[in-house]
Amino acid sequence: MENINISAVIEAILFASGEPIEEEKLSEAAGITKQELDEAIETLRTKYEAEDSALSLLKLENAYQLAAKEDYAPFIKAALEIKKNSVLSPAAMEALTIVAYNQPVTKGFVEQVRGVDSSGVVNSLVEKGLLTEAGRLDLPGRPIAYKTTDSFLRAFRLSSIKDLPELPEQKQQISFDELLENEQPGEE
């Protein structure tokens, strides 16, 4: 591999895949060490951060993926005739938040937190590729557990689930009773 540009090898693998590839698999496929991979990734990151590049290098947990920069999305959608992304309903965002912060969880857990049937919402999020099955729990009925996907990370521009914003502490949250106390007379 003496006369081969390692960054170009990594770039070719990521381009051909179209999907995130784990660091270990990238290193193995290219026949390089983790340190050489880190150097190649940094070279690619610098290359794609240039204003004249339409590509970006995404880090998703311990994997990498090539993607087009957001500025080019309208052109890509027009060329590929992709329909506009559907906006998630408040119920879907609520369920997605519950899963993201507590994963892996069952539909029953989501329903318990939300207080309403959430089967349809969870199924919809699975269909959209934002949630996936994470196996079955060793409980009666062997319920399916769900977790977020790499598509979730991409959609919310996160490198890792650890990048989710911190939840406010309970003392910083307003309670329903406080809300009622603060309500002005004549308001509903």
The one-letter amino acid code at 145 reads A
Output the pLDDT for position 168. 74
Output the pLDDT for position 26. 92
Q: What is the pLDDT of residues 163-183, one digit of tens each?
A: 888 877 766 666 656 666 666
Rg over CA atoms, the chain: 22
pTM over 0.75: no
The one-letter amino acid code at 53 reads S
Contacts of 95-98 with CB under 8 Å at 24 or more apart are 95/121, 95/122, 95/125, 96/125, 96/130, 96/131, 96/148, 96/152
Output the pLDDT for position 17. 87
Q: What is the pLDDT of residues 3-37, one digit of tens each?
A: 788 999 999 999 988 888 999 999 999 989 999 99
Listed by start position, the domains of the chain span 6-73, 90-164
Q: What angle do CA 44, 49, 55 make, to 5 degrees?
A: 75
- The alpha carbon dihedral of 101, 73, 87, 80 has a sign of negative
Output the pLDDT for position 148. 93
Stretch 140-162: mean pLDDT: 88
Distance CA 130, CA 151 (A): 6
Output the pLDDT for position 185. 56
Q: Say if 6-73 and 90-164 have the same CATH topology.
A: yes
Q: What is the pLDDT of residues 69-113, one digit of tens each?
A: 888 888 887 777 655 566 788 899 999 999 999 989 999 899 988
Helix axes 34-49, 23-30, angle to 10 degrees: 100
Output the pLDDT for position 163. 86
Distance CA 84, CA 91 (A): 20
Q: What is the pLDDT of residues 50-61, one digit of tens each?
A: 778 888 898 888
Output the pLDDT for position 137. 83
Output the pLDDT for position 186. 54
Output the pLDDT for position 155. 83
Could you confirm whether domain 6-73 is CATH 1.10.10.10? yes
Residue 138's pLDDT band (boundaries 50, 70, 90)?
confident
Question: Among 28, 42, 26, 31, which residue's Cα sits nearest to residue 1?
Answer: 31
Output the pLDDT for position 179. 61
* pLDDT surpassing 90 at residue 132: yes
Distance CA 89, CA 137 (A): 28
* pLDDT surpassing 60 at residue 188: no
Question: Among 156, 106, 101, which residue's Cα sits nearest to residue 126?
Answer: 106
The CATH class that applies to domain 90-164 reads mainly alpha
For residue 134, the surrounding DSSP H or E stretch is strand 131-136
> What per-residue string of b and e applies to 65-101 under the rule 16 or more CB within 10 Å gives b?
bbbeeeeeeeeeeeeeeeeeeeebeeebebbbebbbe
